[in-house]
Amino acid sequence: MFRFVLVRFLQAIPVLFLVISITFVMIRSAPGGPFDSEKNAPPEIIQQLNERYHLDDPIIKQLGDYLGNILRGDFGPSFRYPGRSVNEIIFNGLPITLELGFYAILFALTIGISAGLLAAYKPKSWQDYLPMSFSMIGICLPSFVLGPLLVLIFSIWFEWLPVSGWGQFNGDKLLPSITLGSAYAAYISRLTRGGMLEVLSQDYIRTARAKGLSEPRIILVHALKGGLLPVVTFLGPAFAGLLSGSFIIETIFQIPGIGRLYIQAAFNRDYTMIMGTTIFFAALIVVFNLISDIIAAMLNPRISYQGKN
């Protein structure tokens, strides 16, 4: 297992290197620069700014310097927030985004797995059709529609929950988490249903029935482990996607996480911010994929990462 983890980490290095290089070159070849919106700045000042941030160096040298800095853990200064470093900005926003992501995935797992189990237990009945119809709606409804809709219903009509914010009012974390998690809940319920139906049709489930086991035991002990494998393998990319996709939610609900920073950085051509957040998200995707692979291996005894002796 240790070797497997190590190898996967080593494989991540070239992946991250490519992501960094491609992003670096692409944002610099896009028209416009970080200081273009300083409308009245005379060309000499732009020139000076470019020199100060080494933007007039050849692109290969810039990339080399940047990679060197990253290895030292320095993502450079932000171009748009003078005096603040990218590291600082990311690590201020990170805990908030992580917390949001965690609640969202928790919501998605709870709702998704229970709906999936319910549907798989009695396929082609109303217990199947009802949750699966909801899940279809959940998949189709984009979060920028669902979010405002939930706000309209729960905050404005019923006045139960605050309209926006994060940690300022009671219950203000509820709506953003549900909005972010619902599409994933929908996917997870479908994956659970599919995985469980597949497992429940296996010969060994018939064996379990022939042994006289009760239905709850058959579902929870004999079928669940195998049935949830697709969900587990989906969780890695899902969690990473959730974090990077949170910018819509963060914008709608005025949450100061890094998703919002990412978007602002892109609009502002804040090169170092874009790079910092991109690298950060790429690394997250690699790590979460690895974690979900490890969990899948633990659930499935037939996958062995140790190799035979």
Partner 1 sequence: MSLLNVENLSVSFNTREGKTEAVKNASFSLQRGETLGIVGESGSGKSVLCYSLLGLLPMPPASIDSGKALLDGEDLLMCNKKALRHIRGNRISMIFQDPMTSLNPYLTIRTQLTETLRLHKGFSKKAALMKAIASLEEVGIADPEKRINSYPHELSGGMRQRVMIAMSLLTEPEILIADEPTTALDVTIQAQILRLIKRLQNDHNVGLIFISHDLGVIAGIADDVMVMEKGDIVETGTAENIYYQTQHPYTKKLLCSIPITGKPLSHQYSLETNAQPLLKLEGLKTYFHDNHVFMTKKQDVIKAVDDVSIEIYPGETLGLVGESGSGKSTIGRSIINLVNITQGKIMFNDKEISTHGNEETNISRRQIQMVFQDPYSSLNPRMTVFDTLAEAISLRVKLNREEMISEVVKLMEDVGLNADQIRKYPHEFSGGQRQRIAIARALALRPRLIIADEPVSALDVTIQAQILDLLLKIIKKYHLTMLFISHDLSVVRYISDRVAVMQKGKIVETGDTEDLFSNPQHPYTRSLLSAIPIPDPRKERQRQIDTSIT
Binding site for partner 1 (CB under 8 A): 3-4, 7, 202-204, 206-214, 217, 221-222, 225-226, 299-302, 305, 307-308
Tell me the closest approach of the beta carbon of residue 133 to partner 1, in angstroms. 23
Query: DSSP secondary structure string, 90-126?
Result: HHHHHHHHHHHHHHHHHHHHHHHHHHHHHHHHSTTSH
Please say which residue, 2 or 158, places its beta carbon nearer to partner 1. 2
Structure tokens at 180: 């972010």
Distance (Å, whole) CA 103 – CA 304: 32
Contacts of 76-83 spanning 24+ positions with Cβ under 8 A: 76/272, 76/275, 76/276, 77/53, 77/272, 78/270, 78/272, 78/273, 79/34, 79/35, 79/53, 79/268, 79/269, 79/270, 79/271, 79/272, 79/273, 80/34, 80/264, 80/265, 80/268, 80/270, 80/273, 81/270
Please say which residue, 59 or 221, places its beta carbon nearer to partner 1. 221
Please say which residue, 39 or 308, places its beta carbon nearer to partner 1. 308
Measured between alpha carbons, how far apart are the two ends of the chain, in Å?
Answer: 13
Tell me the closest approach of the beta carbon of residue 293 to partner 1, in angstroms. 13
| β-strand partners of 77 | 85
Tell me the closest approach of the beta carbon of residue 181 to partner 1, in angstroms. 28
Tell me the closest approach of the beta carbon of residue 301 to partner 1, in angstroms. 4
Please say which residue, 102 or 305, places its beta carbon nearer to partner 1. 305
Distance (Å, whole) CA 291 – CA 283: 12
Tell me the closest approach of the beta carbon of residue 217 to partner 1, in angstroms. 8
Tell me the closest approach of the beta carbon of residue 40 to partner 1, in angstroms. 58
Please say which residue, 96 or 286, places its beta carbon nearer to partner 1. 286
Please say which residue, 228 or 261, places its beta carbon nearer to partner 1. 228
Distance (Å, whole) CA 301 – CA 189: 24
Specify the residue for token string 């998703």: 259
Tell me the closest approach of the beta carbon of residue 135 to partner 1, in angstroms. 25
Please say which residue, 71 or 210, places its beta carbon nearer to partner 1. 210
Tell me the closest approach of the beta carbon of residue 303 to partner 1, in angstroms. 10
DSSP-derived letter for residue 213 is -
Please say which residue, 110 or 207, places its beta carbon nearer to partner 1. 207
| β-strand partners of 85 | 77
Residues 6+ positions from 4 with CB-CB distance below 8 Å: 297, 305, 306
